[in-house]
Amino acid sequence: MSALLKIENLTKRFSQHTAVNNVSLQILKGENLGIVGESGSGKSTLARCALRLIEPDAGKVLFDEKNILEMNRSELKDFRRHAQIVFQDPYASLNPRMTVQDILQEPFAIHKKSIQKKTAQDRIEYLLDLVGLKKDYLSRFPHEFSGGQRQRIGIARALMLEPSFLVCDEPVSALDVSIQAQILNLFEDLQTKLNLTFLFISHDLRVVRHLCQRIGVMYQGEILELNTADKIFTHPETEYTKKLLSSIPQVISR
Amino acid sequence: MMSLLEIENLVVSFPTENGAAHALNEVSLKIETGETLGLVGESGSGKSLTALAILQLIQKPGKIESGKILWKGKNLLDLSPKEMQKVRGKQIAQIFQEPMTALNPVLTVQTQLTEVLDQHFPELSKKEKHQRVVEILKQVGIPNGEERLKNYPHQFSGGMRQRVMIAIALLGEPELLLADEPTTALDVTIQAQILKLLRDIQSARKLSVLFISHDLGVISENCKNTAIMYGGKIVEQGLTTDIFYSPMHPYTFGLIESIPGTQKKDRLKAIRGSVPQLGQFPSGCAFQNRCDFAQNACQNLPNLSARQGQHQVRCHFPIKSEQSA
C-alpha cells in the first residue's frame, strides 16, 4: 500500500514554545492512523498542520506526493476538496445562524460553483441519510440538535465533497459514552462505504484502539513511539506509553 | 443503624411549556459512613442535580417538590437557610467538575481558601487560619504551598486547580464529600493522581463520598456501591461488582457495552437514540423508546425492586446474567 499522506520533519513553534518538534510519519491509503497524547502534547497542532490550517515552520507535508506547503492558493483549495476535518466541539463548529441545509450546502458554494442544484441536493440528502439523520432536519438550526446529532452534521459536511482523507480531531470527546459508541460505529461504516483514510486524534487510548490500525503516541511535541495498535497495547516500548496505559480506568467485567 | 445520608423519594421539578417536569423523580439513596457511592448517568440524567439538591443549591425556577434528605436522621429540608449554611461546606462539601469556572479568577488562592475558615471557624486566629491553609495544601499535594498562596487560579495547571478545589472542600472538615465529575476535565495521567489523592484522603479521614461520573471505569475502580440514573430516576443500584458483572437494567447493559475496550471489539453495541430533553421522556419506563427489550408493559413505570440480595433494578424485564454474558 502506498502512502496517502507523508509528513517529513515537521516543526511548528509558537513564540518560544515548540508545539510540534521534527515529526515524521506516513498514513497509508485506506488506513486509520491514531495519534494519542495529553493536553499540550501537540496532537491538534500536528493535525492542523497536516491540512495546512496553520503554517508549519519547517518540514514537508506530502499529499499524493505533492507538498501542500508549497501549493499556491488555488492548488491548496483543490487539495482541501480531498482532505477534510471533523472538529472536536460539535457546539462550536457549526454556525448557529445557519440551517442544516445551508451548512451542508456551503462546501459546494466554496468549491464547485458550477454543480447542478439537483445533484447538490441529492448529495446532501444521501449524506444526511448516511450519517443517520432525517431529511426533515434540513430546515432546522444547530441548537435544535443533541451533541451526537450535531457531530453527525459536522461529519456530513466534511464528506460533502467526497474527500479521500479525513482528519478527526477529538470527534467524540464531547459526547456521552453511548453516543460516542454510535459515532465510532458510524466512522467504521463510512470508512467501508466511502474508502476513506483517517488521521484520528484523541486523548482516549481506547477510542483510538477501537478505530485505528496504527497508533502514534505524542508527548511534548514529539512522536515517542509509533506502532500497530496491538503492539502499543501489548508491548509498549516507552515508559510514557506504559504510564498512559496503566492510567486508563478499567471497567471490571468478566 | 441510621445512615449518614439518606435520601427518600426526592422529587425536583422545573417548569416547562407542558407544565412541571420532574427532573428528579422518587430518588432514594443511602450513604453510610466511610462509604463511596458512585452515581452514574449521561448528561441530563439528573446526577448533578441530585448533589445540588442535597446542598439546596438548585437554581430557580427549579424546586424540591417533595421527599426527605435525612442527614444523620435529621431532614435537611426542614432547616432554615441560616442553619443550612452551617451544613453546606462544613458537614457536606462539594468538589465541582470544572475547576476553572468554580474558582474565582480574580481572587488569590489564599483568599478563596481562607474564606471557608472565616465562614465555618470564625473563632480561629489569623495565624491559625494561615497554618491550616498551608497544611491543607500540603495534604492535597501542592508543592511549595506556602509560596503559591499568592497565586491566582490561572497560574495553576488543571490538575493543580482541582487540588485547590479539593483543599477548599476539605477545609470545613466535612463528613460527606460530593464529588461531581472531579476528574472529567483532566488528562488521564493527572486523573489517576487525583483519584489516588481522593482515596488517600478518604481513608485517612473516614470520609463518605458521593462520586458522580459518567465514566464507568472511574466508578468501577473507586466505588463500593453504585447507582445508575436515567431520566431523573434511579434505574439500578447495588454493589459495584454486581452491577458491572451482571447488569440487569438494559440501560446499564448498554452503557457498559458502549465502552471501547483495551481489547479490539468488532463493533460497539451503542444505545440507539439519545437522551430526551427534560419533559419529553416517555411516561412509564423512561428508557423504553431506546430499549431493545421494551414491551407494552413498559408503558407503566416499573418499581425499583430487589432481584438478588441488595441488587435493585427498575425494569419489568431485567436482563438475566446468562443474557448479559
pLDDT > 50? residue A228 = yes
Residues of chain B positioned with their CB less than 8 A from the CB of A176: 42-43, 214, 275
Residues of chain A positioned with their CB less than 8 A from the CB of B240: 252
Percent of chain B with pLDDT over 90: 73
Q: What pLDDT score was predicted for residue A92?
A: 86
For chain A, the straight-line distance linking the first and the last C-alpha, in angstroms and rounded, comes to: 39
CB pairs under 8 A between A and B: 114
Q: Residue B147 in 3-state DSSP?
A: helix
The dihedrals phi and psi of A69, each to the nearest 5 degrees, come to -75, -15
Place of cell 460527606: B176
Q: What pLDDT score was predicted for residue B186?
A: 83
Place of cell 488569590: B108
How far B188 CA lies from chain A's nearest CA (Å)? 6
In this structure, the number of other CB atoms found within 10 A of the CB of residue B213 comes to: 24
- pTM for the full model? 0.87
Question: In this complex, do B191 and A177 lie within 8 Å of one another by their Cβ atoms?
Answer: no
Percent of chain B with pLDDT over 70: 97
Question: In this complex, do B262 and A205 lie within 8 Å of one another by their Cβ atoms?
Answer: yes
The band of B50, judged by pLDDT with boundaries at 50, 70 and 90, is very high
Q: Is A245 on the interface with B (CB under 8 A)?
A: yes
pLDDT > 50? residue A217 = yes
Query: Is the backbone peptide bond immediately before B182 cis, with ω within 30 degrees of 0?
Result: no
The dihedrals phi and psi of B279, each to the nearest 5 degrees, come to 90, -5
pLDDT > 70? residue B90 = yes
Q: What pLDDT score was predicted for residue A177?
A: 87
pLDDT digits (tens, 9 = 90+) for B192-246: 999 999 999 999 999 999 999 988 999 999 999 999 999 999 999 999 999 999 9
Q: What pLDDT score was predicted for residue B265?
A: 63
Contacts 24+ apart (CB under 8 A), B191-195: B191/A247, B191/A249, B191/B218, B192/A246, B192/A247, B192/A249, B193/B141, B193/B159, B194/B159, B194/B162, B194/B163, B194/B166, B195/A249, B195/B221, B195/B222
Q: What pLDDT score was predicted for residue B143?
A: 86
pLDDT digits (tens, 9 = 90+) for A9-57: 999 999 889 999 999 999 999 999 999 998 889 999 999 999 999 999 9
The band of A113, judged by pLDDT with boundaries at 50, 70 and 90, is low
Measure the CA angle with vertex A208, ends A206 and A209; round to 5°.
Answer: 60
Q: What is the mean pLDDT of residues B156-185?
A: 92
Q: What pLDDT score was predicted for residue B167?
A: 95
Q: Which of B195, B221, B270 has its CB closest to that of A178?
A: B270
